[in-house]
Amino acid sequence: NSVDFIRNFSIIAHIDHGKSTLADRLLEFTGVIPESAKNAQVLDKLQVERERGITVKAQTATLFHMYKDQEYMLNLIDTPGHVDFHYEVSRSLSATQGVILLVDATQGVQAQTVANFYLAFEANLAIIPVLNKIDLKTSKTEQVIEELNTMFDIEPEEVLQISAKLGIGIDKLLEAVIQKIPPPPCDVEKPFKALLFDSWFDKYQGAVANIAVKDGSLKKGDEIVSAYTQKRHPVMELGFMHPLPTKTNALYAGQVGYIVANMRNTKEALIGDTLYKVKSPVEPFPGFRAPKPMVFAGVFPADQGEYFNLKVAIERLILNDSSIELNVDSSDVLGQGWRLGFLGILHMEVFNQRLEQEYDANIIITSPSVPYRVKIFGEKNIKMYGTDEIMVLNPSKLPNPAIISEVLEPMVQGTVITPSEYRKDITTLCQDKRGHLEEEIHIGEDRILMKFILPLNEIVLDFFDKLKAISSGYASFDYEDHGYQQSQVTKVTFNLNDHEVEELSMLVHTSKAVQEAKEMCVKLRDNVPRQLFLIAVQARIGGQVVARENIKPMKKDVTAKCYGGDITRRKKLLKNQAEKLKKMRKIGKITVPKETFINILKR
Ligand code: GDP
Ligand code: MG
């Protein structure tokens, strides 16, 4: 039976532990790519790779390997590489029967190692523990093997040792993949059923999907149905990733490949979806979930003249990333823009970076916020809103507190792994962030794992940076969804000389409202340019002033008369002045330049 010679597997690792390097080495070793210059990271450099989704990925590939006179088909299924993509990783893993758990021997087990291990463990996958970077003098092989034993019950003799960079131990590793990972359970006689575990956008072909065929077979011309969208799609092309798309005539049960099926964009090819053939519906794979953005931010062109270019750039990036939610937004100060929803804070940062690097976009991204669930009471009010619970993504959309019965905020479970000496400072940081310690375990000499329950709102701003700073870069962090919890949320508004500045309104936890109000007043005092008169800066909560600052008037402008004489110079100055004014916002009698808002609102 040919399925006996198929293995579907993934590499899971903490960032920088060597996943891409190992993927390259496996491809090289099995002859998919020619032997590259040392450490060249061939896959990461492919054009198709750059055009893919938001994460920089090692990419799924089919390898062929001879073992004991038998050729095996090894499907290396890629998983996205960072914390915001737990769901996507779990879907990719469900297309496999086993994983290589790769741990940097100089670093030991880190937060994402733990998160990924449990995803694989809970999915009942075969786990091949592997230490990488054993060529380095600083590797602590013994210690890390012990950590793996303490934390995951992995027997020391099971642990393989490799250097992905130098290609040491790769043959043994391939042998382990063949021996320890079972062939996919599947049935070619049953109706066609496949898991869609990845997709990307191609200019000419639309969405291209990676699928793992569970049962049956698929050939060109067949018509398939998405269990989620219920849309029909004719299969125009199919094949293997080798590592570039390589056409074949059919895909059979147990195999992994790509399909081009007239899907217009990645929203028609959602990760975790089940595909079947028209007239032969099947029970969908469990665990599908539509993308659920949790972090929202306003994105505006720094210059409104760039609006259309930015629109095109954002739309292109979104074609490739079905998890981003896009809504138009506008502000008196920042002009026309969008409110974008991301899976998490890193997802947002990567998107931002890609806009800047790949599209040369000059953007303003406002402070991120999280979705609150707001419950409303009173029959009349419920009727008016058409529901008794609304999602609030934007401070300006918060209903009058008088009709709110309860506010719930999103929570996460965060895992920190750190040298024990930073334990106290990390605990203090998490308490400052309204978190509480749930669990603490020693995982070896001088290293601990701490689990905190934290509000997502508190980690979207500067949590990562603070954690890194406190621990001199040694602490690693990973988090996952932990549902919603009741919360006390307060809306703070700001006035300049009694005129409200809507852009500045914010939703904060009640316990921090006054403190944050004060901080913002100081920021305004230091950023709003002085005028000829005094400006009162006020923060209010429910009409009450909770903080205030004064911006002193400036002295009479004595430089004004210096400009006399040269008429062209005078004209130029007037023109500059007019252009500047266009970028100003009038609040009462006060004109505030856009730069001021940018300084205050940006992250
Ligand atoms: P990823 O984030 O898990 O994909 O990690 P990469 O494959 O990008 O590797 C991170 C860094 O570790 C790169 O600078 C690699 O060259 C380096 N690296 C990976 N494997 C080894 C190894 O076996 N030995 C040494 N010395 N360096 C390695
Ligand atoms: Mg990588």
CA–CA separation, 589 and 581 (whole Å): 14
**pTM for this predicted structure:** 0.85
pLDDT band at residue 291 using 50, 70 and 90 as cut-offs: confident
Q: In ligand 1, which atom is closest to the CA atom of 21?
A: 7
* Distance from Cα 74 to the centre of ligand 1, integer Å: 22
Question: Would you say residue 56 has pLDDT above 60?
Answer: no
Question: Would you say residue 130 has pLDDT above 70?
Answer: yes
Residues 6+ away with beta carbon under 8 Å from 481: 86, 294, 410, 412, 413
Average pLDDT score over residue span 507-518: 93
What pLDDT, on a 0 to 100 scale, did the predictor assign at position 336? 92
Report whether 275 contacts 194 (CB < 8 A).
yes
pLDDT band at residue 573 using 50, 70 and 90 as cut-offs: confident
Q: What is the ipTM of this complex?
A: 0.99
Tokens of residue 352, six digits: 């931002």
232-257: per-residue pLDDT in tens?
999 999 999 988 889 999 999 999 99
Q: Which residue has the higher pLDDT, 412 or 58?
A: 412
* Distance from Cα 178 to the centre of ligand 2, integer Å: 24
What pLDDT, on a 0 to 100 scale, did the predictor assign at position 477? 93
Report whether 463 contacts 478 (CB < 8 A).
no
CA–CA separation, 194 and 555 (whole Å): 74
pLDDT band at residue 395 using 50, 70 and 90 as cut-offs: confident
Q: Which range among 28-37, 362-371, 548-557 has the greatest average pLDDT?
A: 362-371
Average pLDDT score over residue span 280-284: 96
348-363: per-residue pLDDT in tens?
888 888 888 888 888 8
- Name which residue sits closest to atom 14 of ligand 1, judged by CA: 16
**Which of 118, 166, 120 is closest to 139 using CA atoms?**
166
What pLDDT, on a 0 to 100 scale, did the predictor assign at position 579? 67
What pLDDT, on a 0 to 100 scale, did the predictor assign at position 558? 47
CA within 13 Å, CB half, 180: 18
Mean pLDDT of the chain: 88
Give the percent of the chain with pLDDT over 90: 64
Counting ligands in written order, which one lies closest to the CA of residue 164?
Answer: 1
**Which of 13, 18, 48 is closest to 242 using CA atoms?**
48
Counting ligands in written order, which one lies closest to the CA of residue 57?
Answer: 2
CA–CA separation, 93 and 47 (whole Å): 25
Within 6 Å (CB) of ligand 1, which residues are found? 13, 15-21, 39, 132-133, 135-136, 163-165
**Which of 237, 230, 227 is closest to 207 using CA atoms?**
237
pLDDT band at residue 404 using 50, 70 and 90 as cut-offs: very high
CA–CA separation, 27 and 64 (whole Å): 9
- Identify which of 10, 15, 16 to mutate to test ligand 1's pocket (most ligand atoms within 8 A of the CB): 16
CA–CA separation, 94 and 76 (whole Å): 13
* Distance from Cα 469 to the centre of ligand 2, integer Å: 24
* Distance from Cα 523 to the centre of ligand 2, integer Å: 39
Counting ligands in written order, which one lies closest to the CA of residue 136?
Answer: 1
DSSP per-residue letters across 156-196: GGG-EE-BTTTTBTHHHHHHHHHHHSPPPP-BTTSPPEEEE
Report whether 488 contacts 499 (CB < 8 A).
no
**Which of 298, 366, 362 is closest to 329 using CA atoms?**
298
What pLDDT, on a 0 to 100 scale, did the predictor assign at position 243? 82
Report CA torsion sign: 160, 161, 164, 168: negative
What pLDDT, on a 0 to 100 scale, did the predictor assign at position 466? 92
- Identify which of 21, 83, 162, 476 to mutate to test ligand 1's pocket (most ligand atoms within 8 A of the CB): 21
Report whether 79 contacts 92 (CB < 8 A).
yes
- How many DSSP H helices and E strands does the chain contain? 16, 33
Q: Which range among 124-133, 291-300, 436-445 has the greatest average pLDDT?
A: 124-133
302-324: per-residue pLDDT in tens?
888 899 999 999 998 888 888 89
Kind of pairing between the strands at 98-104 and 126-132:
parallel
59-92: per-residue pLDDT in tens?
789 999 999 999 999 999 988 767 788 888 999 9
Residue 577: which region, alpha, beta or left (left: phi > 0; alpha: psi -120 to 50)? alpha
- Identify which of 165, 173, 350, 476 to mutate to test ligand 1's pocket (most ligand atoms within 8 A of the CB): 165
What pLDDT, on a 0 to 100 scale, did the predictor assign at position 568? 76
Question: Would you say residue 563 has pLDDT above 60?
Answer: no
Question: Would you say residue 565 has pLDDT above 70?
Answer: no
Q: Provide the strand spans (E) within 421-475.
A: 436-444, 447-455
Q: Provide the strand spans (E) within 216-366.
A: 217-219, 223-226, 232-234, 237-241, 245-247, 250-252, 256-263, 274-277, 295-301, 325-331, 335-342, 363-365
Question: Would you say residue 295 has pLDDT above 70?
Answer: yes
Q: In ligand 1, which atom is closest to the CA atom of 81?
A: 2
Question: Would you say residue 201 has pLDDT above 80?
Answer: yes
Q: Which range among 22-31, 210-219, 264-273, 289-298 has the greatest average pLDDT?
A: 210-219
Q: In ligand 1, which atom is closest to the CA atom of 58?
A: 4
* Distance from Cα 61 to the centre of ligand 2, integer Å: 15
